[in-house]
Amino acid sequence: MRRAVCPGSFDPIHNGHVEIIARASNLFDEVIVAVSTNYAKKYRFEPDERLEMVRETIGGLRGVSVEPMGDGLLADFCKLHGADAIVKGLRSTVDYQYETPMAVMNRHLTGVETVFLAADNRYMHLSSSLLKEVQSLGGDVADYLPRTVLKRLRSNTP
Ligand code: PNS
Mutational test site, ligand 1, from 6, 9, 92, 127, max ligand atoms within 8 Å of CB? 9
Q: Is 130 in the pocket of ligand 1 (CB under 6 A)?
A: no
**Are the beta carbons of 8 and 39 closer than 8 angstroms?**
no
Instruction: Give residue 157's pLDDT.
Output: 74
| Closest by Cα among 59, 54, 55, 113 to 88 | 113
Question: By three-state DSSP, how is residue 22 classified?
Answer: helix
State the distance from the centre of ligand 1 to the C-alpha of 26, rounded, in angstroms.
23
Asked if residue 35 lies in contact with residue 47, where contact means CB atoms within 8 angstroms, the answer is yes
Phi, psi angle pair for 20, to nearest 5°: -65, -45
Reduce the DSSP state of residue 118 to 3 states and report it: strand
| Pocket-testing residue among 69, 74, 129, ligand 1, by greatest number of atoms within 8 A of Cβ | 74
DSSP 120: P
pLDDT, tens digit, 9 for 90 and up, residues 75-96: 999 999 999 999 999 999 999 9
Which residues 6+ apart lie within 8 Å of 140 measured at CB?
Answer: none
Say what the pLDDT of residue 39 is.
87
Nearest CA to ligand 1 atom 17: 73
